[in-house]
Structure 1
Amino acid sequence: MRGPWRDGKLDMFMSFSAITVRDAINEALNEEIKRDDRVFLIGEEVARAGGAYLVTKGLWKKYGDERVIDSPISEMGFTAFQISCPIVFRGPNGVEPGVAAQHTQDFASWYAHCPGIKVLAPYSAEDAKGLLKAAVRDDNPVVFLEHAILYDRLFPVGDEVLEDDFVLPIGECKVERFVYMRVLFQCKCNFSREGNHITIVSFANGVGMSLEAANELDALGISAEVINLRTLRPLDFETIKKSVMKTRHLVTVEEGWPFAGIGAEISAQVSECEAWDYLEAPILRVCGVDVPMPYAQHLEEEVIPNMTHIVATCEKSLKHKMKK
């Protein structure tokens, strides 16, 4: 992706586009349905209504009933389908304020537990478009987890992201970027920066919280490297391992529950490889509280992880010296 840094210098005159995650997903679906006449979209309210979050808006008018199909408004109705692979299951996952336990859970680790299924969890508009197109083209069943809070968020993208052939590889995470300015109050412009003191690993909305935490830590003289997993399974463990061996400290961030979570799996893999010998402190996790999601706002705020939790956890890691 074209960024504002060129040859180590900041290019303040670089032009860029900004799109929301919702529009990025819509573009990916449109381009893949157009590219391959075997691709079709089926789901609850995805046709005339444009989807529960308007993610599929305009696709039914463009491609008609045979390519964009409304299913019964009942998950039980899906049992009558006979659909072969490849198939992509996409939909919202993670915390959404004010809708309680029936609609605001992070089930990423549930899906990632199943062998043979690829699990993707995008953060940015670039992630959403590139990974969804890769998922549609993949020969395996793919679960594509969209975070509802991110649908309306604007992200700057390079020209190549807007091209029809833009695809991101499945199974590769990304060392993310630090926020350095805000555009139009919502769009965040970023530049690449590797960290040296601590590694923060997350996915989906947790990446945004981790980047905000990295900024706070930077003001304290702490250099954090934020890794956006993008793909939960297959996991790009090699990138995580290299970062941990460099920084010697690791914090994982997720909205899901701590027991048997994504962070727990990453912690286990680090402890089972040579990166363990490089750690100067125990691996720490920032997770949702281990209770069903409450409806009351003041209780909900106590359950959901936030930027302050991440900063405090990173500081705790850096103050600890592990005896081996």
Structure 2
Amino acid sequence: MREAPTTSLLDATLDLPRERLIDWLYQMLLIRAFEETVEQLYAAGKMHGTMHLYIGQEAVAVGAIAALRPDDYITSTHRGHGHAIAKGQDLRAMLAELLGKETGVCRGRGGSMHLADLERGNLGANGIVAGGIPIAVGAGLSIRMQRQDRVVLCFFGDGAANHGNFHEGLNMAAIWRLPVVFLCENNQYAMSMPVQRAMAVHRVADRAAAYGIPGETVDGMDVVAVYRSVQAAVERARRGEGPTLIEAITYRYKGHSKSDRQVYRTRDEVQAWMARDPIARLREALIARGWLSEAEAATLEERAREAVAEALRAAEGDPEPEVAQLTEGVYAEDPLFPPRWIRQAFGSEVPVEPPAGTRALSYAEALREAMTQAMAADERVFLMGEDIGVYGGAFGVTQGLIERFGPERVRDTPISENTIVGAGVGAALTGMRPIVEMQFMDFVTLAMEQTVLQAAKVRYMFGGKARVPLVLRLPGGSGTGAAAQHSESLEAWFVHVPGLKVAAPATPYDAKGLLLAALADDNPVIFVEHKLLYRTRGPVPEEPYLVPLGKAAVRRPGRHLTIVAYSIAVLRALEAAERLATEGIEAEVIDLRTLKPYDAETVIASVKKTGRLLIVHEAPLLGGFGGELAAAVAQSEAFAYLEAPIIRLGGVDVPIPYHPRLERAAVPQVEDIVEAARRLARLEI
């Protein structure tokens, strides 16, 4: 066990107002009463799920948040009830949330581990260990870019200090001198793992030296010590001097969660820590100074208990969510089109799918033009990724943008994929509209936590009250000889995740229009760019315009069969259709353009006309998007019009190989589409 440096609260309170200290005592009593009430409710079976009690750690939340202004941000943890109360969250709304009520702070969608109140600056508790660290970095970046006088206080536990997010996040905040205070609540155990067995250094704060920032260890059972430490770090951050790492040595009296049998620690250990109880220490110091009587202390405690009881009585009578409301809050949808952001940035006259004209651009140039126009129209739009500045990214798409917009808005990052995406989430939550680029789609596997568990879910978890306008650009696909770890097509993964949208343009025209539409969307959008498309050319209007998400395009009319494709497969399908036409087979080619949402109506109408359906994509056949589309058609009115079985054509179940002949054989080529279409044209049910 690693004990904290101890201080004398009697001496430490000399220069602090009596009213403030009494208020801190009341807040700690309120947290304690809340947690004891919640524990009883769970034990009685009146609350669903799990809980992580904050009893014993009250001084950290109260002391730390006392050093903030009301408009400062916090990111919290799965043990976040104390943080929420100290940040001013409404007790009734919190209890209603834990009871699963519609009036809960997250409408009963988040529960104990996801309490959030964006209006009060609480960017959310987090069920993922260290999950809030990248988001705090992004919020700090947002503050910096919007030139606000705010600070982010990032709570995390000692277990999180061994997570990649910790190291990536502290490093990124340090090199950019972001106004983030990282506060480790070292309560001695990461579930059952003792801190001394989890790291070789003596203190978590010792790790600050690796990032060139101050690090300090304080007594987390002393509210005044925590306050003074955080206050100094907050003042440093406001001066533009960057982040600080503070380690508060504290202890949780209860188990990790309600199911924890606590076999990893002794009763004597728990009793030793309880003898240093933070509430008792402050109460005794105030009584010793003559600022509080025993009777007044008892009254204060009773007032806290009654406040919780009153909030509980109100919350218990609140309504529960209706099943009919199940899907509310998954996506932020603008009822008007063009979306609000487009109207504000460019005016209401932005055209939707205007004539293409005659000016030709490459796919990469079209993407660059979309980003240039968006950044020129709205300072909240910025780029973030590896080597996107002078180098222009792995494929040169962002080349030239740093010269125009500068390194603040075309922001090169360390190789820290998860924190790059997480910083985008945090920035999006706090008013920015980030475009995040992965060098290769494959590398998003290193950022799945922030993409899937954070970006996609925070809006719904927070009761539909959050917006995450984030575009994640992913160069994917085979054909460059980069082999297995740089050539994947992973779009179907993201289609499977509620809260994400997925675009996969095939033409320069759609690349620009869909990217502007994605930027205008208030949801995270996965933007898939096949690497072989970057040099393809086509007509692109010079003005800003939109291609709506969820609207397919008929690229070639036909009457004998329907070929549905997206991304690079569209070009191959069109070439195959031209070959088939010489044989008297007229194929209708549909470009989906977006996979989520996707345009089922256009596909169904075509199948009803042709009676035959061939679905093509480069991604592996097994589990690919083609299966979803085939099922949707089979379950629609188009099923009665089918004259032959649906055929799916996808990649082979093999990592993309290096050898060029093997690489071509791993994914559908033009000749494969021609052969499959011939076979389909001959088939009958």
Paired residue for 1:208?
571
SS in 2 for 1:208: helix
Paired residue for 1:253?
616
Number of equivalenced pairs: 291
Q: CA deviation at 1:203?
A: 0.5
- Aligned counterparts of 1:106 and 1:140: Cα–Cα separation in 2: 22
Determine which of 357, 365, 368 is the counterpart of 1:23: 365
SS in 1 for 2:415: coil
Q: CA deviation at 1:297?
A: 1.9
- Aligned counterparts of 1:39 and 1:80: Cα–Cα separation in 2: 16
Paired residue for 1:184?
none
SS in 2 for 1:100: coil
Q: CA deviation at 1:33?
A: 0.5
What does 1:246-285 align with in structure 2 at a 5 Å threshold? 246-285=609-648
Paired residue for 1:42?
384
Amino acid at match of 1:141: P
Determine which of 413, 419, 428 is the counterpart of 1:71: 413
Determine which of 502, 518, 532 is the counterpart of 1:119: 502
Instruction: Determine if contact 1:210/1:310 at 8 Å carries over to the other structure.
Output: yes
Determine which of 235, 242, 255 is the counterpart of 2:605: 242
Q: CA deviation at 1:77?
A: 4.5
Paired residue for 1:196?
559
SS in 1 for 2:577: helix
Q: CA RMSD in A?
A: 1.4
Distance 1:79 1:122, change over 3 A: closer
- Aligned counterparts of 2:367 and 2:418: Cα–Cα separation in 1: 26
- Aligned counterparts of 1:298 and 1:204: Cα–Cα separation in 2: 21
SS in 1 for 2:620: coil
- Aligned counterparts of 1:119 and 1:209: Cα–Cα separation in 2: 21
SS in 2 for 1:281: coil
Higher relative contact order (Cα pairs below 8 Å, separated by 6+ residues): 1
Instruction: Determine if contact 1:42/1:71 at 8 Å carries over to the other structure.
Output: yes
Paired residue for 1:162?
542
SS in 1 for 2:381: coil
SS in 2 for 1:254: strand
Q: Normalised by the size of structure 1, how large is the TM-score?
A: 0.87
Determine which of 292, 303, 310 is the counterpart of 2:666: 303
SS in 2 for 1:54: coil
Paired residue for 1:92?
475
Determine which of 393, 397, 413 is the counterpart of 1:55: 397
Instruction: Determine if contact 2:361/2:508 at 8 Å carries over to the other structure.
Output: yes
CA offset digits 1:115-157 (Å, max 9, x no partner) = 1111000100001000001101111110000111010111134
CA offset digits 1:158-205 (Å, max 9, x no partner) = xxx211x3111111010014xxxxxxxxxxxxxxxx111100000010
CA offset digits 1:201-232 (Å, max 9, x no partner) = 00010000000000001101111110001010
CA offset digits 1:47-101 (Å, max 9, x no partner) = 1221111100111111112211011023255376233211000020111331111
- Aligned counterparts of 1:79 and 1:269: Cα–Cα separation in 2: 32
1:145 aligns with 2:503: no
SS in 1 for 2:618: coil
Q: CA deviation at 1:249?
A: 0.3
Paired residue for 1:190?
none
- Aligned counterparts of 1:91 and 1:110: Cα–Cα separation in 2: 13
1:128 aligns with 2:511: yes
1:226 aligns with 2:568: no
Structure 2 stretches lacking a partner, 5+ long:
1-353, 430-467
Q: Normalised by the size of structure 2, how large is the TM-score?
A: 0.42
SS in 1 for 2:485: helix
- Aligned counterparts of 2:518 and 2:648: Cα–Cα separation in 1: 29
SS in 2 for 1:53: coil
Q: CA deviation at 1:16?
A: 1.4
What does 1:98-109 align with in structure 2 at a 5 Å threshold? 98-109=481-492
- Aligned counterparts of 1:139 and 1:80: Cα–Cα separation in 2: 16
Instruction: Determine if contact 1:96/1:103 at 8 Å carries over to the other structure.
Output: no
SS in 1 for 2:619: coil
Instruction: Determine if contact 1:25/1:129 at 8 Å carries over to the other structure.
Output: yes
Distance 1:288 1:79, change over 3 A: closer
Instruction: Determine if contact 1:200/1:251 at 8 Å carries over to the other structure.
Output: yes
- Aligned counterparts of 1:225 and 1:108: Cα–Cα separation in 2: 24
SS in 2 for 1:309: helix
- Aligned counterparts of 1:46 and 1:17: Cα–Cα separation in 2: 26
